[in-house]
Amino acid sequence: MIMVKCNVNVNLKKPVKKKAEPADEPPVKRRGKVPRISRLMALAIRMDEMLRRGEAQDTIELAKMGKVSQPRLTQILSLSLLAPEIQEALLYLPREMTGRSKIHERNLRPITKQLYWVKQREMWSDLIRSVGPAAKDV
């Protein structure tokens, strides 16, 4: 029989996580939240891409993937029919610090039904004027 003697150190304390090395630039803390309409616009663009690439066969399949009703998905997808400048404005709305958004998807439905981008831009300008000074940056 062979007998081996050795010392074993047992530490019952939780290991201390090492702090990450500080980067050259401090991380930027963003306050507020991304407006819901901005997230919906991004979702509409993504879903439109999925349909064009064939990742989803139709809106029914997309609705199942997104766990929403087909009519709601159609409402969201209609945002992709907006003029490019309006889409960009929606994507880059300022973050919301307090309260609710002043621009809602429901407000945009009449604009999405308009076929002509010139008319859409006019309707968009009217909407921005009506929601007040908070959206003037758009």
Residue 70 CA neighbour count, 13 Å, CB half = 4
Return the higher-pLDDT residue of 138 and 18. 18
**So what's the pLDDT on residue 131?**
87
* Alpha-carbon distance values, 120 to 5, 14, 79, 109 (Å): 84, 60, 12, 11
pLDDT above 90 covers a percentage of the chain that reads: 62
d(CA 7, CA 40): 62
Name 44's Cβ contacts closer than 8 Å, sequence gap at least 6: 76, 77, 78, 79, 80
Q: Where are the extended beta strands (E) located within the chain?
A: none
**Among 69, 71, 79, which residue's Cα sits nearest to residue 39?**
79
| Alpha-carbon gap, residue 67 to 76, rounded angstroms | 13
Question: How many percent of the chain have pLDDT more than 70?
Answer: 78
- Band of pLDDT at residue 123, cut at 50, 70 and 90: very high
Condensed to tens digits (0 to 9), the pLDDT of residues 3-33 reads 777 777 767 676 666 666 666 666 666 788 8
pTM value surpassing 0.85: no
Instruction: Report which DSSP code applies to 134.
Output: G
Query: DSSP alpha helices (H): ranges in the chain?
Result: 36-53, 59-66, 70-77, 84-91, 105-113, 117-131
CA angle 129, 81, 99 (to 5 degrees): 40
Between 8 and 66, whose confidence is greater? 66
